[in-house]
Amino acid sequence: MSSNLALKLRAGTQKAHTAAENVGFMKCFLKGVVDKDCFAKFLGNLYFVYTELETALASHQNNPVVGGVYFPELNRRASLEKDMVFYYGSDWRNLIAPSTNAKKYITRIQQLSASEPALLIGHAYTRYMGDLSGGQMLQKIAQSTLKLSDYEGTSFYNFEQIPDKKAFKDKYRDALNAVPVDDVTADKIVVEANNAFSFNMQMAEELEGSLIKAIGQVLFNNLTRSHNQGSTEAAATN
């Protein structure tokens, strides 16, 4: 049976997608203003989130729903570990900790893993499809602004095992549509995908104080004044 889950997720998260791009930190990022320390903290939080998410997904890979969209080639943890070494050195594990909102995000993933693992799909969809779409643009901006060569410091965005991102995204959407879920569960997965957007936005908002210290309040205000119509939404359709 086809759940049309991919279509439901896309339609059901459009508002959240645009809202995420209108968080001040992301507005500045999209306009090419990236502070190295803030970016390192951003990736550090994602390291903790992906570690939890990927542990949960792996533990449920034999679940008939979760297993249908379990693609280990998407895993980001090892790439984020490379980035942590780049920014913090070999002792990085003792130098980083998840932020308040990253901890809330992790707790939610743990709750779902224990009680409703099918809903983890909402989190996987929001993160991985974003990384494969708009994330590729963010990677180019970070490389250019921070003068990074190759993927040093941006390994997170480098999907070595997915050379054709468009083909993979099509495959992922087909897999989403094939998962055996009823409409009620599909709707819950969409709600959880929106929760994932909220957590990601909250983690970005936490970094705004540090960013303002780095670039100044006036520049921050100028960069964040206009409403972003959703540039990565266009990228997500490719």
- The per-residue DSSP string of 28-76 comes to HHHTT---HHHHHHHHHHHHHHHHHHHHHHHHTTTSTTGGGG--GGG--
Domain 5-226 has CATH 3.40.605.10: no
- Which tens digit of pLDDT belongs to each residue from 139-183? 999 999 999 999 999 999 999 999 999 999 999 999 999 999 999
| Rounded Cα–Cα distance for residues 26 and 110 (Å) | 27
Of 207, 189, 221, 214, residue with least CA distance to 46 = 207
| Rounded Cα–Cα distance for residues 205 and 20 (Å) | 10
| Rounded Cα–Cα distance for residues 201 and 193 (Å) | 12
Of 14, 16, 88, 27, residue with least CA distance to 228 = 27
Q: Tell me the average pLDDT across 6-31.
A: 93
| Rounded Cα–Cα distance for residues 224 and 19 (Å) | 13
pLDDT value of position 115: 98
List the chain domain ranges: 5-226
pLDDT(188) > 90: yes
| Rounded Cα–Cα distance for residues 20 and 204 (Å) | 9
| Rounded Cα–Cα distance for residues 32 and 22 (Å) | 14
Angle between helices 183-206 and 100-115 (to 10 degrees): 160
pLDDT value of position 228: 73
Structure tokens at 66: 């979760």
| Rounded Cα–Cα distance for residues 81 and 84 (Å) | 5
pLDDT value of position 227: 81
- Which tens digit of pLDDT belongs to each residue from 24-33? 999 999 999 9
- Which tens digit of pLDDT belongs to each residue from 101-153? 999 999 999 999 999 999 999 999 999 999 999 999 999 999 999 999 999 99
